[in-house]
Structure 1
Amino acid sequence: MQHPQRLNNTSGTARFEDFGGWHDFVNAHFPTLEMANHSCTPFQASASSCRLGDYSLTHIGSAASSVDRTPVLARRASAGYLKVMWQLAGQLELSQDRRSVCLAPGHAALCDTTRPYRIRLSDGARLAVLLIPYDVDSRLPRYAERMSATELGDMPTMQAALGAITGLARSRPAADDPGTADVMQAVGAMLAATFSRAAEPDESALDDQRLQRAEHYIATHLASSDLTPARLAAALCVSRRSLYALLARHGLTPARLITETRLRHACDALAATARRQESITDIAQAHGFGDSARFSRAFKERFGQPPSLWRSEHGDH
């Protein structure tokens, strides 16, 4: 089966006392799965399902069992879905993309039906599953790739979204009810905001990482005479314009960062006992200052003392 069957809008709960019937129900309402019964007692399960516009919501209660979206089943899929799961009772263990998460009640995670995954439920597990087709939002595959089988944060928003869709399902909306689209649009926005925050690194953190990479590159090329903004931008795999914008956010320019990094390392060299035999001119040249007079001026402007005085006062003894 390539697609899950469309769901009827009903709040009735279906109950199962045999694993075969449960297997058929799951594969009628979700992309095809391989299933196994791990219960030590007679198997029992229950489910209620509702179609909500493009989405479908299923509340599940199950004895110990597992489902596998195998590589073969994933490859056969002609449509992709994001599966969002809220754990309500018991435990759920989800594995995908070499990641694994164990959900306790009150927590949520997601997985991607286009790639293999495994879900294992404990006895007495209860969960809510929202199935979202990828054509709803082009960003969903990227979110799933970065976040599958990890615990979702921002649980207040996740719980609010679950409350909204659960309340909508209980109202048994007609297929053409305009209120359904309004509610699901709001829910989609809440989920997208949560996914985006979790999947996209904080821009300030990215800036700090890029600045550290720039400083490291300069530190490993201190003596290079051609250590220019263009070369630094190329080393960071960014354009010159992006490099200038990045450094401007930190109150810097490429030239200032290069000079500042060279001066800090020259300062350390002047204070190091192992380099006492090197002249100030030697240290200046080793740190990219071809002109010792320019080095002295820049050093005094930065540290308030000429290099010779700094060395005598701060050198290791």
Structure 2
Amino acid sequence: MLVLDTADLPVPDRAEAFHAAAAGETGSCSIEQEEAASGAWKKLETWSFGPMALFATQGSGMRIRRTPRHARFDSMNTVSVITQPQGRAAFGWSGHQQFVGPEGLALAHKTAGYEYGWSGTGLSVAFMVDTDRFGMPEDMVRAAIPVLHHSRITPLLLHHVRALHGDADRLSTDPSAAHLAAATLELTRALVASVAPDGPVRRTVAQDTLLTRVLAFVRAHLADPELTPQRIAQAHNISLRSLYRLCEDGGLSLERWIIRRRLEGARQDLVSPEHSHRTIESVARSWGFTNPAFFSRRFRETYGISPREWRRLAG
């Protein structure tokens, strides 16, 4: 949902309008706008996924600062994960400095304070949740901030956030929005726990989030025809038998779940204008279907129509 597009405002009013909108949505802060030849420009969008809020901020350079003093005047006490799909941002917290590009992320704890910003044109996508909802010890969250680059969960969470943002208008109003929020928070807890010292909290979180991590791994590798149950089990250091039992306890068949997600992706691409030049076989192959006949048969069984008919009717 669009909150603000300062392109609709006079140049002198843009900085103040963005500051008011950003503070209203995410809490008390200070913002320095980078001067641009045509004037500072920002577009702010936000979506609600149950207890989690997703934000997209696009535009000219800026630096946002949240200090412990800001937190004292703010009723919000939140944990945020910040990604940077466009541009290269700088994140700073308590002496820790890092750059965040399309393949990285930053973890922020509001009461600890932080700085975040970029130069030139950029796009930041972040989600925020109340610390009580996040449910992890504050000292563990803060200790994770400087060492997240060591975690194998980072690319899974990035892929997940990109998927949410890419279809946020629809997903935020879908009945599954609360489940998507729960999966997002489980992946984030797994991220924090994965770089924590071994102990009861880490082991409990690892066990509680295992199915979520497995499904996130599968989503991130759906296009790979070499994605097999054996590879999934190996990536998570569990036996094939344990993988099947985990999925069964979660109420799903792994193979059917994979095929259904691949079919959904192919079905969307078949009617997407950006893929209109591609053959049906090419689209199917890009979603891991190496056998055209198998793809067509499963597509018809699932949707009651052939891929060719679906593309023709949708066009």
TM-score w.r.t. length of structure 1: 0.55
How many matched pairs? 190
Structure 1 counterpart of 2:101: 104
Contact kept, 8 Å, 1:52 with 1:169, in 2: the verdict is no
Partner of 1:89: 86
Measured against aligned partners, the alpha-carbon deviations of 1:35-67 in whole angstroms (never above 9, x if no partner) come to 111224211111211011000001111211111
Give the AA of the match of 1:162.
V
1:150-169 alignment, distance < 5 Å? 150-152=147-149, 153-154=151-152, 155-167=154-166, 169=168
Q: Which residue of 1 aligns with 2:69?
A: 72
Per the alignment, do residues 35 and 13 of structure 1 end up closer, same or farther by CA in structure 2, a change over 3 Å counting? closer
Tell me if 1:188 matches 2:185: yes
Within-5 A mapping of 1:1-317: 10=1, 12=2, 14-17=4-7, 18-41=14-37, 42-139=39-136, 141-148=138-145, 150-152=147-149, 153-154=151-152, 155-167=154-166, 169-171=168-170, 173-174=172-173, 178-198=175-195, 200-201=196-197
With over 3 angstroms needed to count, the CA separation of the structure-2 counterparts of 1:188 and 1:168, relative to structure 1, is: farther
Q: By how many angstroms is 1:151 displaced?
A: 4.6
Between the two proteins, what is the percent identity of the paired residues?
A: 16
How far off its partner does 1:110 sit? Answer: 1.0
Unpaired runs of 5+ in structure 2? 8-13, 200-315
Q: Give the distance between the partners of 1:173 and 1:95, measured in 2 at CA.
A: 30
Q: Which residue of 2 aligns with 1:305?
A: none
Give the deviation of 1:145 after TM superposition. Answer: 1.1
* AA partner of residue 24 (structure 1): A
Is contact 1:95–1:149 with CA below 8 Å preserved after alignment? no
Counterparts of 1:136 and 1:74 in 2: how far apart (Å)? 18
Partner deviation per Cα, 1:240-277 (whole Å, 9 max, x = no partner): xxxxxxxxxxxxxxxxxxxxxxxxxxxxxxxxxxxxxx
- Structure 2 equivalent of residue 272 of structure 1: none
Instruction: Report the Cα offset of residue 141 of structure 1.
Output: 2.3
Judge conservation of contact 1:39–1:123 (CA < 8 Å) in 2: no
Structure 1: runs of 5+ lacking an equivalent = 1-9, 204-317
Assess if the C-alpha contact under 8 Å between 1:13 and 1:48 holds in 2: yes
Shift of 1:128: 0.4
Q: CA deviation at 1:75?
A: 2.5
Q: For 2:170 and 2:99, locate their aligned partners in 1 and report how far apart those are by CA, in whole Å.
A: 32
CA RMSD of aligned residues (A): 2.2
How far 1:106 moved relative to its partner?
A: 2.1
CA contact (8 A) 1:94 1:149 kept: no
TM-score by length of 2: 0.55
* Residues 1:90 and 1:26: Cα distance change in structure 2 (over 3 Å): same
> Larger radius of gyration, structure 1 or 2?
1
Query: What is the letter of the counterpart of residue 124 of structure 1?
Result: T
Conservation of the 8 A alpha-carbon contact between 2:30 and 2:64: yes
